[in-house]
Chains A and B, each alone.
Chain A
């Protein structure tokens, strides 16, 4: 999951055969291109799972990918890197306070209910995810993206036990919501 990037200047490269800066750059561009094509949609899904609406998710994904491109040579685990940066960006936006001390309307509207608002007409199930508390959505987002509790714990800087606990609580809450829906 968090395997380092495929391309790294190999120690076996001799001084004589060292690629020129132009060659290295073109390799990096090719690497980034492959990574972008492979991951940008998944990054959007990750952000949506966190609670971002489609517009914000798309914007943040594009921003983060742009940053990744510019720092590509120093990023060892791009998949995790973009998710970490994206999560921070989203949280910063979520809790951003403008100069007058009010939460921006545009961002405030993102919180939670966005998933339900924009997706529920198509898939009612998505609305249930939006009703989870933020922490549970966070661990669920990493979980759905294929990260183990230990890896998620590292990224969120909490204990693996706390991740597992939040995941279990999230699943239990979803199960309860599903049952409620069925009973109604």
Chain B
């Protein structure tokens, strides 16, 4: 077999292989958080029906109304404005190992909502809070949001939808040089935000982002979805009920706080005006049988 090669030292090779195995195992233990990985898999499964249900209902004007009712039940306290609500939302989910993908989606919905509220100056700030890798300069951030809007528009017309989703998500993460679909896919897999995200999860996130721009633009819808995500029947089975309650309560508080902040600050457009505008858009959409879906991101007048 080895011809004239001298026999190798079997013990040395065995020792080498043991070293390699030991090191790689230690490395993987560091790289893979078992509990969070499990939460990502089982949590995604638990929340998927809710997400689908949400996607199905979100285009209905009635849902927007229901969502507003949900929002109206939240305390409109004169709480001090907090800029960290979206970040806390993501952290609450992660801290309790509760559906990181769901937390990420919610955070992105918030980002989309902010972008649609045309307060683009705050987008970079929010992105920073969410620990999204977005460029420091505001111009880049604006460009990212505009790219998202443009991509969403193309996606809505069914032209290169899949490519658009991936590119949009990559752009959302501040990736500038996405030349191909494969690049975007590779980038997405490497971004892994939040800490645990499978390729499917990344793709879901991209899809949700687009869906968020198209449908879940109102904060009320976000509230609706968040509440739905942590309903007892859809929550993760390994979480004790007390934890579920905590998550539920914390999310409500965060969203209430965030909503209060949105209301308290001088915005170019009050939220209820955004809601009304979106309801009109949804109504138009239904009337048009969704064939020529208006690009909400672009349709919101300045």
Contacts and interface: CB of A to CB of B under 8 A. Distances in A.
Given A63-B199, A172-B1, 12 more contacts: A33-B238, A36-B41, A55-B190, A69-B41, A99-B181, A100-B179, A102-B180, A105-B186, A106-B183, A125-B19, A144-B21, A174-B13
Contacts, number: 160
Interface string B32-50: 1010011011101100000
B266 interface: no
Contact of B16 (A59, A122, A174): A174
A153 interface: no
Contacts of B6: 179
B29 A41 contact: yes
Could you tell me the dominant secondary structure of chain A's interface residues?
helix
Contacts of A32: 42
B192 interface: yes
Contacts of A171: 8, 10, 13
Interface in B237-266: 237-238
B148 to A, nearest CB: 22
Chain B interface size range: 35 or more
B275 to A, nearest CB: 36
Contacts of A150: none
Chain A interface size range: 35 or more
A95 to B, nearest CB: 12
A155 interface: no
Interface in B43-86: 44-45
Given A122-B23, A179-B9, A104 B182 contact: yes
A62 B27 contact: no
A98 interface: yes
Contact of A98 (B42, B183, B187): B183
Nearest to A62: B198
Interface string A1-37: 0000000000000000000000000100100110011
B8 A40 contact: no
Interface of A: 26, 29, 32-33, 36-37, 40-42, 44-45, 48-49, 54-59, 61-63, 65-66, 69-70, 96-100, 102, 104-107, 119, 122-123, 125-126, 128-129, 140, 144, 165, 168-169, 171-172, 174-176, 178-179
B142 interface: no
B272 to A, nearest CB: 40
B240 to A, nearest CB: 15
Nearest to B183: A104
A133 to B, nearest CB: 15
Contacts of B40: 62, 66
Contacts of A33: 38, 42, 238
A57 B189 CA distance: 11
A57 B28 contact: yes
A122 B200 CA distance: 32
A126 B20 contact: yes
Contacts of B1: 165, 168-169, 172
Q: Which residue, A33, A42, A125, A144, has most C-beta atoms of chain B within 10 A?
A: A125
